[in-house]
Amino acid sequence: MATITIANSVTQPLVIEDRDEKQLIRVLPLQKAILYHKNNNGIRHTEITLEEGANLTYLLWQNEGVLDVRFDISLKQDSSLTFYTMTSSNKSITMNPSIYLKGEGASVQVMNVFLALDDAKVSCDSFILHEKGNTQSVHESYIIALDEASVKVNNNSKIIKGASKSNANQVAKGLIIGEKSQITADPNLFIEEHDVIAHHGAAIGSLNKDEMFYLMSRGLSEEQASRIIIMGFLQPLLDHISDEETKKEIKEDFEHKLK
This prediction has a pTM of 0.93
Ordered strands of the 93-101 beta sheet: 2-6, 22-27, 45-50, 67-75, 93-101, 121-130, 150-159, 182-191
On whether the CB atoms of residues 151 and 182 are closer than 8 A, the answer is: yes
Please give the helix or strand (H or E) that residue 224 lies within, else none. helix 222-238
Q: Which residues lie below 8 Å from residue 251, measured CB to CB, with a gap of 6+?
A: 231, 234, 238
| Bridge pairing between strands 136-145 and 93-101 | unpaired
Going residue by residue through the chain, which has 259 residues, state the pLDDT in tens, using 9 for 90 and above: 889 999 999 988 899 888 789 999 999 999 999 999 988 887 899 999 999 999 999 999 999 888 899 999 999 999 999 999 999 989 899 999 999 999 999 999 999 999 999 999 999 999 999 999 999 999 999 999 999 999 999 999 999 999 999 999 999 999 998 889 999 999 999 999 999 999 999 999 887 788 888 888 888 888 888 888 888 877 877 888 888 888 889 989 988 888 7
Q: Which residues lie below 8 Å from residue 245, measured CB to CB, with a gap of 6+?
A: none
Residue 218 CA: distances (Å) to CA of 69, 79, 181, 212, 222: 44, 47, 29, 10, 11
Q: How far apart are the first and last CA of the chain?
A: 40
Burial code (b: 16+ CB inside 10 Å, e: under 16) for 220-239 equals eeeeebbbebbeebbeebbe
